[in-house]
Structures are given as structure tokens and as C-alpha cells.
Amino acid sequence: MRVVVTGGAGDIGHCVVKQLAQEHEVISFDQRVSTELHCEQVVGDILDLDALRAVMKGTHCVIHLAAIRHPMADPADRVFHVNVMGTHRVADAAVDAGVRRIVFASSDSTFGFVFGNYGCPLPLVEYVPLDTKHPTHPRDPYGLSKLVGEELLHSMHRRHGVAVTCLRYPWVWHPGSYPERAEIERNPANHVGLLWAYIDARDVAQAFHHAAERVEAGFHVILLSAPDTMVSMPTLELVASYLSANVTVRDLSRLVREPNRTLVDNAPCETLLGLRPARSWRDEVR
């Protein structure tokens, strides 16, 4: 299978490319060439429709990772424009070329908890574990761009029948360079917007790989998370200490049985992709 990966030279992109290249013909489409990749690399911009149309010829699946990846370093209008118009042009070029599968790098920032303050109170978490039925309240240009990207791709699915998988994942941790544990443990409140969720880059790469191979029809939004939280405090204590007293705790018995379990519902990842993210910081630090 020929797979085009936009943003293939990025921090997450190169992990995805390496994973896919074990079994498929992979082309990285990025603004730069990476010395870490041993596949065809095309230099281009996701706003360049002609370049996208050229690279899409003969492609079976597109994995769209390229984006401005947070709202802090660029003006809001640029973040929104690049991410939204880039997604539209990638999808437009893909369907024109007859691509039948698109996998999109969305984000947990669509819920509005991560970058959501922007001078306003954070929206309330209504219930945990979090699933895709939870209301989305993005307040920043990045989270909004990812939510609009999902809607754009849903429209492409309705219009052209292309299979679309949107993967919403949290803070990605890379093997061998996990963040400083002491700071995270000292200040759990700093990561309440993430609901203390994280995921290993290898699990993210596998999720994209499984989506590219297994999702042949439909439109799907899937949450990903490591199996546990990023802190040692038991999950129910985190909820009681840092979330609203009005939050509803679902599947309470499981959180009692698994005291450090993630507050993100991974079940659709298992049922739709056949993948159970398993890597934990607890294994890395032993």
C-alpha cells in the first residue's frame, strides 16, 4: 500500500513513517527532509494544492499530521489558516486522486481543556472517563482548527465516501526522553487541562498504522491515551482534588480496581483499531 504522510519529518511524523515503512511504501511530504527517514521524501507545503495533487497520484491512504502544533508561537490567524486550509487542501487533493482512506491527527485540545483559558475560565469537565460524546469547547485557535478539521473531513466522507479516522491524542512522550518526573509529581494541578493524560509516541505510531490498514469505511473519531495517568496520585484522588465536585465519575468500580487508570476512554481504539495502548512511564523509570 502506498501511504503519503504529511508532516513526515516531524517529531511524531518520523515515528509514524518508520512504523509504516516496515510494511508499506511510504512517502513523507514535509517542508524539510529528515536524515532519520529512509523513504521517499517530497519537500512541499500543505497549502500548495498543486504539490499535493502531484504527490497523491497512485496513493491508497493519506495520514495527515502536518500542522502548526500549538497556539503559543504563532499569531492566531496563522495557526487557524494553516491548519484548517492545509487540511482542506490535503483532503481535496486526496479525493481528487482517488484516495480511499484518510487518517487525521486531531487532538484532545478539541475539548477546550488544554489551551482553553485564554483569559476565560476553563470549561467544566462534565464526566470522566472522557469519550467523544463529551461536549467540545475549544477556546484557542489550535483546538478550534482541529475541531474544524474533523468537520471538514466528515464533509469529505459524506460527499465522496472516503473512509476517515480522526485520532484525538494528548501530550506525546518520546521513548528515552520522557519529561522530568519530579516537576510533574510536585505540581499535578499544572496538568489538569490534560486530565493527566499522555501517550507514548510508539503507541501513537501503531494507532496510525492500524487505522491506515484496518479502517475501510465510515467516519470515526477515536481517543488515545496511555493506560494510566502521568502522576502517582490515584486517579480518584486527582478527580476529587482538582476537578469540579459536580463531575460524574463513570465506571467507578474499574477506577477502584485500577487506581492509576487513565481518565480517557480507550475502548473504541481497541474495538475499531484492534490496539490497546500499553506503554507507561512506570515501565520507563524502573
b/e string for 121-142 if b means 16 or more Cβ within 10 A? ebbebeebbbebebebbbbbbb
Q: Is 127 a catalytic residue?
A: no
Measured distance CA(8)–CA(75) in Å, rounded: 24
Q: Beta strands of the chain (E only): which ranges?
A: 2-6, 25-30, 40-43, 61-64, 101-105, 127-128, 163-168, 171-173, 198-200, 219-223, 248-249
Q: Indicate which residue of 118, 142, 198, 242 is catalytic.
A: 142
**How many helices (DSSP H) and strands (DSSP E) are in the chain?**
10, 11
Question: How far, CA to CA in Å, does 279 sit from each of 34, 48, 207?
Answer: 26, 37, 13
Report phi then psi at 281, rounded to 5.
-60, -25
Bridge partners, 105 (sequence order): 167
Three cell numbers written together for 75: 499569531
If one counts every other C-beta atom within 10 angstroms of the C-beta of residue 159, the result is 9
Cβ–Cβ under 8 Å, residues 145 and 80: yes
d(CA 263, CA 239): 9
Nearest C-alpha neighbor of 43 from the set 7, 68, 13: 7
The grid coordinates of residue 37 equal 527517514
d(CA 270, CA 258) in angstroms, rounded, equals 18
Q: Which of the residues are catalytic?
A: 142
